Amino acid sequence: MTLILFNKPYGVLCQFTDESTGPPRPTLAAFIDMPGVYPAGRLDLDSEGLLLLTDDGRLQARIADPRFKVPKTYLVQVEGDPDKAALESLRGGLRLKDGPTLPAQVERIEEPALWPRDPPVRFRKTVPDCWLRLTIREGRNRQVRRMTAAVGHPTLRLVRWRIGDWTLDGIGQGQWREAEKIG
């Protein structure tokens, strides 16, 4: 069984081929040359960070399927400075268009030491921003972005740092490594 931990850059598709009819976009094939592995879950084109790839279908399902409630931790740069009520709303669970979310763990953090994003997040002198560490146990489409927007603080940058026990520690942007030992 193979498990790869990949630090997906901004603007890279979470698949090995680009099937769109528009201009070509970078895919996993530009970074990972290992046949037979497939993403366990997804990260949006405009999100960065930890993506797990495996050749084991059962492991892939256990990681990606929301029924298993594998915790996923994100470092989130948001517009504005969320107050206690906004953070409590995230902690208590929110009602989104596709239904209620499970409660999230969230805390305000200092700006993390991350690689520069290309292109950089737009800086506005008149609008503050803040970083959060947010952990969810679901994986709905654009869920973290929709949650922060629902409490009035749109996401500016989203980096998935952890999935279950696997983290980005020591993995540079666009780099990958094989997991030491699985389960």
Q: Choose the catalytic residue: 18, 44, 55, 129.
A: 44
Give 64's DSSP letter.
H
- Picking from 156, 157, 80, the residue whose alpha carbon sits closest to that of residue 114 is 157
| Residue 166 phi, psi dihedral angles, 5° rounding | -95, 135
Locate tokens 């947010």: which residue?
134
Longest dimension (CA), the chain: 51
* Rounded Cα distance, 68 and 163, in Å: 12
Cα 58 to Cα 1, 4, 40, 135, 163, distances in angstroms: 11, 15, 10, 23, 16
For 105, other C-beta atoms within 10 Å of its C-beta total 13
- Picking from 138, 142, 168, the residue whose alpha carbon sits closest to that of residue 47 is 142
To the query of whether residue 44 is one of the catalytic residues in this protein, the response is: yes
Cα atoms in the 13 Å half-sphere on the side-chain side of 101: 27
Residues with active-site annotation: 44
